[in-house]
């Protein structure tokens, strides 16, 4: 069994991450990030992964101080959120920055009536 890594930060940290609605990709990624913070933070470090919506909800949570970090898709929302364009019309978040992107595949399930004889 290997020894846990030495903490990078000697003091305890408390961080709040927002994923998505609780079982999808973004929530899992927030859990991975939380595990890294826990393994490198000082004794007493705590991380919470909160459920939330996506897009504007995620940006609002960080901008208003409720979260330290939030994840959302698609990546193209970042510039729109900064400038208040498109989906974010009427509200902008010029103080926020994207830290990175992670490729993912979204699953789509189709329900088609049997009358179309598709197998």
The model's pLDDT over 37-78, given as tens digits with 9 standing for 90+, comes to: 888 888 999 999 998 876 788 899 999 999 999 988 888 888
How many domains, the chain?
1
**Would you say residue 3 lies in a domain?**
no
For residue 81, give the H/E element and its range: helix 77-83
Q: CA torsion, points 44, 31, 4, 41, in degrees to nearest 10?
A: -40
pTM for the complete prediction?
A: 0.74
79-104, pLDDT tens digit by residue? Answer: 999 999 998 999 999 999 888 887 76
Residue 2 has pLDDT above 80, yes or no: no
7-21, pLDDT tens digit by residue? Answer: 567 788 899 999 887
* Whether residue 74 has a cis bond before it, omega within 30° of 0: yes
Radius of gyration of the chain (CA): 18
**Would you say residue 24 lies in a domain?**
yes
Rounded CA-CA distance 92/65 in Å is 15
Rounded CA-CA distance 59/46 in Å is 22
Domain range for 111 is 14-116
Residue 1 has pLDDT above 90, yes or no: no
Do residues 68 and 33 lie in contact, with contact meaning Cβ atoms separated by under 8 Å?
Answer: no
């Amino acid at each position: 069994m290997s020894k846990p890594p030495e903490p990078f930060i000697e003091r305890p940290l408390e961080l709040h991450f927002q994923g998505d609605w609780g079982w999808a990709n973004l929530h899992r990624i927030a859990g991975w990030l939380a595990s890294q913070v826990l393994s490198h933070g000082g004794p007493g470090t705590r991380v919470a992964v909160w459920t939330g919506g996506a897009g504007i909800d995620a940006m609002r949570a960080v901008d208003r101080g409720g979260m330290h970090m939030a994840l959302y898709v698609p990546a193209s929302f970042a510039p729109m959120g900064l400038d208040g364009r498109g989906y974010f019309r009427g509200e902008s978040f010029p103080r926020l920055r994207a830290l990175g992107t992670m490729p993912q595949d979204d699953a789509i399930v189709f329900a088609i009536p049997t009358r179309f004889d598709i197998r």
